[in-house]
Amino acid sequence: MTRATLAALCWTLLAACAEAGAPSAMGADSGGGVDAPDAAAWDAVDGDSAGSAGYFATKVVAFSPGPGAGFGQDAMPSIVLGPPKGGGAASGSLDVVSLGSGGSIVLGFDVAIVDGPGPDFIVFENAFKNWPEPAIVGVSLDGVSFVEFPCDPTAKAAGFPGCAGVSPVHSAPGNGVDPADPAAAGGDAFDLKAIGLNRAIFVRVRDPGAQPAVPPTAGADLDAVVVVNAGSH
């Protein structure tokens, strides 16, 4: 059972309790994505990329779901645009799209990601305590050729260094946690300097295909991506 499935079941149980009146407590490559059928229709819906707390993705450039995907697709593209809706250390968010086994998604921004002080962008999956789901992150200037951050999705004992889908997401609208603060927001932060780049325009999140393709929540999930150090295109 994947995290999104477990979270959905917990949500269902909580709703049932409420109805009954019970109290509740709670490297370089060549892309790998398939262009969206209508990329123009996938422009920003709720992705305010001009917010003071960072710059969020404003469009889905490509989405290539793998086997077992399906969760969250009915809410595309808005479900991956705009700020994260984190569930904290003990609960994974349902505001995600599942990539499926080996699936990938490419996001675009109204700004460029530039190499600046500290981490340059943060990827928000829906990992929570003792339940990581590593994903491989790559960046690109043209949306075709990507350079990936080194990530070993089998290195559980080491904490999956270089991967997304490892750290819980703490920032959510209204909770006062700045989504662009790598020290507080949660998620997994990335520094372009680590792969020898000083600029990027597109971010790709790719499931490594290491887990069973159990529908509809197979593979890594994606909630949001925020640019911390931004420049003009």
The model's pLDDT over 90-124, given as tens digits with 9 standing for 90+, comes to: 787 899 999 999 999 999 999 999 999 999 999 99
Answer whether residue 189 shows pLDDT above 80: yes
Q: Which residue has the higher pLDDT, 179 or 159?
A: 179
d(CA 159, CA 156): 5
CA 46-190-113 angle, to 5 degrees, is 55
Under the banding of pLDDT at 50, 70 and 90, the label for residue 33 is: very low
Instruction: Output the average pLDDT for the chain.
Output: 81
Question: What is the spatial order of strands in the sheet that 121-124 belongs to?
Answer: 55-56, 224-227, 121-124, 188-190
Provide the pairing of β-strand 221-222 with 230-231. unpaired
Q: Judge whether 86 and 154 are in contact, CB under 8 Å.
A: no
- The H-or-E segment that residue 6 falls in is helix 3-19
Q: Please report the pLDDT score of residue 40 as a whole number.
A: 37
Per-residue pLDDT at 169 exceeds 90 = yes
Tens digit of each residue's pLDDT (9 = 90 or more) over 4-31:
444 443 433 333 333 333 332 224 443 4
Lowest mean pLDDT across 42-46, 64-68, 81-85, 212-216: 42-46
Report d(CA 164, CA 189) in Å as an integer: 8
Would you call 19 exposed, middle or buried from its count of C-beta atoms within 10 A (0-12, 13-18, 19+)?
Answer: exposed
Please tell me whether the overall predicted TM-score, pTM, comes out greater than 0.85 for this model.
Answer: no
